[in-house]
Amino acid sequence: MKKIISYAFTVLCLLHVNNIIAQESSEVIAEELGEVVLSIPFSDNKESSVTHIEKITIDSNNPLMFQQISKSIEKLAGVSFMTTGPGVVKPVIRGLSGNRVVVYNMGLRMENQQWGQEHSMGLNGSGISSVEVIKGPMSVLYGSDAIGGVIYAIPENFLQGDGTKVDLSTAYNSNYQGTTTNVGVKGGSNDLKYIIRGSMTDNGNFNTPDGEVENSFFEETDIKFALGYSTKSYQSNFRMSVTETMVGLPHGEEHHDEDHDDHEDGDDEDGDDDHDDHDDHEEEEEGVYIDTEHTMLSWENVFTFSDSELNVKVGYTNNIFREYGGHHDEHDEDHEDGDDDGDDDDHDDDHDDHDDHDEHEGAHMDMALKTTSLDLMYTLPKLEKLETVIGANFLSQENKNHGEEMLIPDAEKMDFGIFGMWNYQLDNMDITFGSRFDNREIKVAGDEHDYFSFSNSLGLKTSLGSNSIVRLNMSSGYRAPNLAELFSDGAHHGTSQYEIGNSSLVEEQNTQFDVSYSHTNGSNLSVGVDVFYNDISDYIYLSPTGGVIDDLPVYHFDQTDSTIFGGSVHLSYDTNIDWLSFDTSIEYLNGETSDGDNLPMIAPLAFRQDFTIDINDNIFELDLLYKGEQSNVSEFEDFTDSYFTVNLSGSHKIDISENSLNVFWSVDNLLDAEYIDHMSRLKNLGIHEMGRNISVGLNYNF
- What HEC string does 562-573 produce? EEEEEEEEEEEE
Choose the weakest-confidence range: 203-207, 437-441, 452-456, 521-525: 521-525
Q: Does residue 555 have a pLDDT over 60?
A: yes
* pLDDT at 353 (0 to 100): 40
* Cα Rg, the chain, nearest whole Å: 25
Amino acid symbol at 404? E
Give the Cα separation of 374 and 569 in Å (integer): 39
Phi and psi at 14, nearest 5°, equal: -60, -40
Query: How far out from the chain centre does Cα 637 lie?
Result: 24
Q: Does residue 326 have a pLDDT over 70?
A: no
Q: Considering the chain, what is the average pLDDT of its residues?
A: 84
* pLDDT at 414 (0 to 100): 96
Give the Cα separation of 423 and 382 in Å (integer): 10
Q: Which of 310-314, 484-488, 502-506 has the highest mean predicted lDDT (pLDDT)?
A: 310-314
Nearest CA-CA partner of 197 in 172, 220, 167, 170: 167
Nearest CA-CA partner of 608 in 78, 94, 59, 46: 78
- pLDDT, one tens digit per residue, over 400-429 is 999 888 888 999 999 999 999 999 999 889
- pLDDT, one tens digit per residue, over 142-181 is 988 899 999 999 999 999 888 999 999 999 999 999 999 9
Mean pLDDT of 232-258: 81
Nearest CA-CA partner of 642 in 681, 676, 592, 599: 676
Q: Does residue 24 have a pLDDT over 50?
A: no
- Structure-model confidence comparison of residues 114 and 472, the more confident one: 472
End-to-end CA distance of the chain: 28
DSSP designation for 680: B
The answer to whether the beta carbons of residues 487 and 409 sit under 8 Å apart is yes
Residue 690: pLDDT band (50, 70, 90) is: very high
Mean pLDDT of 213-232: 95
Give the Cα separation of 669 and 206 in Å (integer): 13
* pLDDT at 361 (0 to 100): 62
Global pTM value: 0.85
3-state secondary structure 199-250: EEEEECCCEECCEECCCCCEEEEEEEEEEEEECCCEEEEEEEEEEEEEEEEC
The answer to whether the beta carbons of residues 213 and 85 sit under 8 Å apart is yes
The answer to whether the beta carbons of residues 117 and 287 sit under 8 Å apart is no
* pLDDT at 286 (0 to 100): 54
Mean pLDDT of 322-340: 51
Q: Does residue 440 have a pLDDT over 70?
A: yes
Mean pLDDT of 619-645: 95
Distance of CA 255 to CAs 64, 88, 207, 266, Å? Answer: 28, 17, 11, 9
The answer to whether the beta carbons of residues 141 and 127 sit under 8 Å apart is no
Q: Which helix (H) or strand (E) holds 335?
A: helix 329-337
Q: Does residue 190 have a pLDDT over 90?
A: no
Give the Cα separation of 556 and 485 in Å (integer): 9
The answer to whether the beta carbons of residues 259 and 267 sit under 8 Å apart is yes
Going from the N-terminus, what domains does the chain have, and what CATH number goes with each? Answer: 38-251+287-325+363-520+539-701 (2.40.170.20)
Q: Does residue 438 have a pLDDT over 80?
A: yes
Nearest CA-CA partner of 566 in 594, 599, 595, 526: 599
Beta strands in 250-385 (DSSP E): 288-304, 309-325, 365-379
Number of H helices, E strands in the chain: 8, 34
- Structure-model confidence comparison of residues 660 and 79, the more confident one: 79
- pLDDT, one tens digit per residue, over 75-90 is 988 899 999 888 889 9
Q: Does residue 16 have a pLDDT over 80?
A: no
Nearest CA-CA partner of 310 in 364, 226, 373, 377: 377
The answer to whether the beta carbons of residues 389 and 415 sit under 8 Å apart is no
Distance of CA 342 to CAs 290, 345, 349, 362, Å? Answer: 19, 5, 11, 9
Q: Which helix (H) or strand (E) holds 266?
A: helix 263-277
The answer to whether the beta carbons of residues 249 and 241 sit under 8 Å apart is no
pLDDT > 90 fraction of the chain, expressed in percent and rounded: 62
CA angle 102, 325, 637 (to 5 degrees): 55
Amino acid symbol at 686? G
Q: Does residue 321 have a pLDDT over 60?
A: yes
- Structure-model confidence comparison of residues 684 and 80, the more confident one: 80
Residues 6+ apart with CB under 8 A from 265: none
Measured torsion, CA atoms of residues 478, 483, 489, 495, in degrees rounded to the nearest 10? -80
Mean pLDDT of 31-48: 59
The answer to whether the beta carbons of residues 81 and 91 sit under 8 Å apart is yes
Q: Does residue 363 have a pLDDT over 70?
A: yes
Residue 38: pLDDT band (50, 70, 90) is: low
Give the Cα separation of 43 and 656 in Å (integer): 40
Residue 359: pLDDT band (50, 70, 90) is: low
Give the Cα separation of 564 and 97 in Å (integer): 13
- pLDDT, one tens digit per residue, over 567-592 is 999 999 999 888 999 999 999 999 99
The burial class, CB within 10 Å (0-12 / 13-18 / 19+), for 292 is buried
pLDDT > 70 fraction of the chain, expressed in percent and rounded: 83
